[in-house]
Every structure is written in structure tokens, then in C-alpha cells.
Chains A and B, each alone.
Chain A
Amino acid sequence: AQSVTQLGSHVSVSEGALVLLRCNYSSSVPPYLFWYVQYPNQGLQLLLKYTSAATLVKGINGFEAEFKKSETSFHLTKPSAHMSDAAEYFCALDRGSTLGRLYFGRGTQLTVWP
């Protein structure tokens, strides 16, 4: 069963527009959730993570995500897109494993138009 679903494999926005990348999860235990970013020809880097301390999580580069248990969602947003935000974004789920295994979504490629 799919643990993490990212809706939309490609999202395009204009520079200055709102960025919204969607992530829904499935977990039978309280989840830990992550957003990673991958710039071209680089590895994945942590953008932000939810560990139950606060439902609204702020990350680097102006991104934030809100954990909504009732909707099993953890959508990523940024009020105003910048050209440098063009990258692939991955949502990931920790099901409470003490071994650190994460379940990744398929990724969403964000394109930012000038």
C-alpha cells in the first residue's frame, strides 16, 4: 500500500506566485513527516520535518508545511516562488521505525517561470 502520495508529478508557477505541493500519507501510528528538495545533479536535502511539536512547520528558503491529521496531509507551501526554487521535491514518512527507514513519495518537479 502506498504510504505517501504526492499529487501532481509536475507543478509550474510564475515567479512570485504561491507554491503549493501536495502530500498525503497513510500511517497507523503517529507519523513523522519530511519534505526534501533535490536540485539538479545533487542529492536530497532536508527542507523541513514534522515531529509532533507543532502542526505548522517552517523550513529553509521560506517554505513551510502544515500537518493536518484529519486530512492525512502535509502540504508544502511558499508564498512567493523564486527562480531558485526550481527543483524536485519529495515528501517522506517515518512510520516510527527506530532504524530510520523513510517512505518517499514519487516526487514533484517544480518549474518556476520568469
Chain B
Amino acid sequence: DAGVIQSPRHEVTEMGQEVTLRCKPISGHNSLFWYRQTMMRGLELLIYFNNNVPIDDSGMPEDRFSAKMPNASFSTLKIQPSEPRDSAVYFCASTPAGTGNEQFFGPGTRLTVL
């Protein structure tokens, strides 16, 4: 299994541009999570899906952030418009259904907004 796949691995953009981060979870996993990691705030849960349905988006910082999961094998996190304070590493993780299961993390996307 290839694990959780994220693209791009690095993204540099200018303030005001739209940014789209992509994630392919592990096949058969029912839940998918988007996290943001910064030095100041640590690891934050932004949103998570179960069976492609958003369950909790209370961690999404502003309306500029949106996430979708059109099917079981693909999810996107979009920032529009981007701001310098959005610079962070964004992780996607997936897990199978049930309690006590670990989350499997992707390698992350390092976003820099100039």
C-alpha cells in the first residue's frame, strides 16, 4: 500500500492566490482528517470526513478555507484567497472505521504564502 498521498509536497504562492491541496487516503479507510501544523499553534484539526461526509469543520479558521471529499479516494482543501498567516504544513490522515484504530498520516504539504 502506498500510504496516504498528498500533493503537492511544497507550494509557494503569493497572497491573494487560490491554493488547492490534495489528498488520497488509504484504500478502505472510512475517515479522513485535515490538520494544520505551525510552530505557534502546534497541530490543529481543521475538518474531518466520514464516508465522504463532513462531520466536524469547527476547526476551519475562516470562510476562506473549504474542504471537499467527492469520493472515497480523494479530498481537497482549498484556501481562497490565501494570506501569509496561512503558511504552515498541512497534513492529511486517514483511518478505518471503529475505535482504537490509528490514524495514518501523509507526508504533508508545506505551504508558503508570500
Contact = CB atoms under 8 A, between A and B. Distances in A.
Interface of A: 32, 34, 36, 42-46, 49, 51, 90, 94, 96-102, 104, 106-107
A31 to B, nearest CB: 9
Interface in B1-49: 4, 30-31, 33, 42-43, 45, 48
Nearest to B99: A96
Interface of B: 4, 30-31, 33, 42-43, 45, 48, 50, 55-56, 91, 93, 95-108
A43 B97 contact: no
Nearest to A104: B43
A44 B97 contact: no
Contact of A99 (B43, B48, B104): B48
Contact of B105 (A45, A99, A101): A45
Given A43-B91, A101-B48, A32 B99 contact: yes
Contacts, number: 61
Contacts of A104: 42-43, 45
Nearest to A44: B105
Given A34-B102, A44-B105, A107 B97 contact: no
A77 to B, nearest CB: 20
Contact of A107 (B42, B95, B105): B42
Contacts of B42: 104, 106-107
B100 A42 contact: no
Q: Which 9 A-B pairs have the closest CB atoms?
A: A43-B105, A100-B95, A32-B100, A100-B31, A51-B100, A44-B105, A46-B102, A99-B50, A106-B42
Nearest to B108: A43
B55 to A, nearest CB: 6
B33 to A, nearest CB: 8
Q: By CB atoms of chain A within 10 A, which of B42, B103, B105 has the most?
A: B103
Given A44-B91, A107-B43, A100 B105 contact: no
11 contacts: A32-B99, A36-B105, A44-B103, A49-B102, A94-B101, A99-B55, A100-B95, A100-B101, A100-B103, A101-B45, A104-B45
